[in-house]
């Protein structure tokens, strides 16, 4: 069950949607395998098996199978989702439970793996927040170190986006994010109404007279630098040429 798109806010994208590691099945899986193995071994080694023993073995298989089915249903209805704004854990078969942590409230991240957990590539991710919430622990996380790195990257991207005055930017490694060629979102730094539209030709023709004032060309040049179209060196060189025309 993937994270519903209707639960996302404006400008929010899903970075990763995880199921718990299969170790989440734990003891129910071990018990079911043991019950089946015991029944097969007894059947193979004992001839003329009494009906009472057979019924006990079948009951053991049935009970452990029901235990495993219940745990499997919980596994299928549990998800750990990282978006560009928050971490969301959803679980529950009949009654739903959801836990949400906003990235801007996180103070510290850590993860823990026992020796056995390292062998199975699973572990716990601990998220520390201020206030009364304290530390929230997510268990049975597949590859917890990688998940922690994803959270850190999204926190950095969010801080960078807020620092620039625009919406939080998505980390470039996430496949669900806009590609490098996608148009940059508008922000508070967008040129005021009435400024001619930006184009590479307008800036390249600044020294040859493009029908624009030097102030307008400087405004266009600054906007192109902000969007990453021109480098800092190119900006300084063209700026010097324009200032010589004043």
Output the pLDDT for position 225: 74
Q: Which of 32-36, 103-107, 188-192, 214-218 has the highest mean pLDDT?
A: 32-36
CB 60 within 8 Å of CB 38 = yes
Q: Which residues contact 241 (CB under 8 A, 6 or more apart)?
A: 206, 207
Whether residue 197 has pLDDT greater than 70: no
Q: How far apart are CA 207 and CA 244, in angstroms?
A: 10
CB 39 within 8 Å of CB 64 = no
Q: How far apart are CA 25 and CA 1, in angstroms?
A: 18
Mean pLDDT for all residues in the chain: 78
Encoded tokens for 243: 């200032």
**42-58 average pLDDT score:** 87
Q: How far apart are CA 103 and CA 160, in angstroms?
A: 13
The per-residue pLDDT for range 162-196, each reduced to its tens digit, is: 655 555 555 544 443 333 334 444 344 444 444 44
CB 83 within 8 Å of CB 16 = no
Output the pLDDT for position 109: 93
Q: How far apart are CA 128 and CA 106, in angstroms?
A: 6
Higher pLDDT, 121 or 9: 121
Output the pLDDT for position 132: 65
The per-residue pLDDT for range 96-154, each reduced to its tens digit, is: 888 999 998 899 999 999 998 999 999 999 999 876 668 999 999 999 999 999 999 99
Whether residue 93 has pLDDT greater than 50: yes
Reduced to 3 states, what is the DSSP secondary structure of residue 80? strand
Output the pLDDT for position 179: 36
Name the nearest CA neighbour of 168 among 182, 183, 155.
155
Helix (H) or strand (E) holding 16: strand 14-18
Residues in the chain: 246
């Amino acid at each position: 069950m993937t994270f519903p798109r209707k639960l996302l806010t404006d400008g929010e994208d899903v970075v990763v949607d995880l199921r718990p590691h299969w170790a989440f099945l734990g003891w129910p899986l071990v018990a079911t395998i043991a019950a089946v193995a015991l029944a097969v071994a007894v059947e193979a080694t004992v001839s003329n098996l009494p009906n009472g023993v057979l019924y006990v073995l079948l009951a053991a298989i049935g009970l452990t199978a029901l235990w495993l089915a219940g745990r499997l249903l919980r596994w299928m209805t549990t998800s750990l989702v990282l978006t560009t704004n928050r971490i969301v854990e959803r679980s529950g078969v009949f009654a739903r439970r959801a836990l949400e942590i906003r990235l801007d409230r996180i103070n510290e991240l850590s993860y823990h793996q026992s020796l056995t957990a390292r062998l199975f590539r699973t572990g716990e991710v601990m998220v520390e927040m201020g206030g009364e919430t304290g530390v929230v622990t997510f268990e049975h996380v597949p590859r917890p170190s990688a998940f922690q790195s994803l959270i850190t990257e999204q926190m950095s991207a969010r801080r960078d986006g807020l620092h620039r005055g625009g919406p939080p930017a998505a980390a470039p490694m996430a496949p669900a994010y806009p590609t490098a060629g996608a148009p940059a979102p508008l922000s508070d730094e967008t040129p005021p109404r009435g400024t001619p539209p930006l184009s590479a030709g307008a800036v390249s023709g600044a020294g040859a007279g493009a029908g624009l004032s030097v102030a307008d060309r400087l405004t266009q040049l600054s906007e192109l630098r902000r969007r990453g179209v021109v480098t800092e060196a190119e900006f300084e060189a063209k700026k010097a040429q324009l200032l010589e025309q004043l």
